[in-house]
Amino acid sequence: MAAATGFWWDEKCFWHAGGSYAFLAPVGGLVQPLAAGGLPENPETKRRLKNLLHVTGLIDALAVSSAPPASREELLRVHPAHYLDEFKRLSDGKGGELGERTPFGPGGYEIAALSAGLATDALRTVLAGGQRNAYALSRPPGHHCLPDKPMGFCLLANISVAVEAALAEKRAGRIAVIDWDVHHGNGTEAIFYDRPDVLTISLHQENNYPRDSGKVSDRGTGRG
């Protein structure tokens, strides 16, 4: 019998270079790196999760998959061309930082597109009936990223790219996104804030990150 749960991952996602941070403060001056490497969004936590699946034997109950990177067409449904072009330009060189706390190294664009591609393929497979549910172990993350402004280690809006693909391909008429994280999923919320076909619900610690974001009174605008 086929596994009911799909598990999407790719080793290349663990190679994303996010710089050296102590929580959200750049290392330097009087700020020392954390003992684990200085970056709260780091590959080791993801490797540990995958290793635990193997150690416990749970991996044998999952349908393990990878996926191609999200295409430019898929990314353009969420992000403007000028943002993608600048991201790619820096990625083809030494890397850089496009916004608030979003450092990346060479090849960062391709890895971020792969992260979005894993989420997109996982959702597509579930909606097509290939799996009952799925988990995408991908990085860099995406829920803080706005269309043309990355934030909080998020370079592309992974979930938003996946949702837009599902809607464009007529796999669903309406989609709900439940974001469960200590931080407000401000990027996903903003992208669909006035949309009647996507409901976003963010469960987060009040006034953590971003500051003054994610109030209970935020209910969308217009038809959203």
> What is the per-residue pLDDT across 174-184, written as a single tens digit (0 to 9) for each?
999 999 999 99
Mean pLDDT to the nearest integer, 113-133? 98
Beta-strand runs (E) in the chain? 5-9, 21-22, 25-26, 62-65, 96-97, 103-104, 133-137, 175-180, 198-203
Which residue has better confidence, 33 or 41?
41
Q: Is the pLDDT of residue 2 over 70?
A: no
Q: Which of 16, 79, 144, 204 is catalytic?
A: 144
User: pLDDT tens, 190-223?
Assistant: 999 999 999 999 999 999 999 999 999 999 999 9
User: pLDDT tens, 145-164?
Assistant: 999 999 999 999 999 999 99
Active site residue 144: yes
User: pLDDT tens, 65-102?
Assistant: 999 999 999 999 999 999 999 999 999 999 999 988 89
Least confident of 9-18, 84-93, 162-171: 9-18
User: pLDDT tens, 48-60?
Assistant: 999 999 999 999 9
Least confident of 32-41, 119-128, 143-152: 32-41
DSSP letters along 167-191, please? HHTTS-S-EEEEEESSS--HHHHHH
Computed over every residue of the chain, the mean pLDDT equals 92
Which residue has better confidence, 29 or 88?
88
What topology does CATH give the domain 5-172? Answer: Arginase; Chain A (3.40.800)
C-alpha to C-alpha distances, 33 to 30, 40, 43, 46, 165, nearest whole angstrom: 10, 10, 16, 19, 38
Q: Is the pLDDT of residue 22 over 50?
A: no
Residue 154 contacts residue 140 (beta carbons within 8 Å): yes
Parse the chain into domains and list their residue ranges: 5-172
Which residue has better confidence, 112 or 31?
112
Question: What are the backbone dihedrals phi and psi of residue 192, each rounded to the nearest 5 degrees, phi first?
Answer: -110, 20
Q: Which of 39-53, 91-105, 123-137 has the highest mean pLDDT?
A: 123-137
Position 36 scores a pLDDT of: 53
Q: Is the pLDDT of residue 173 over 80?
A: yes
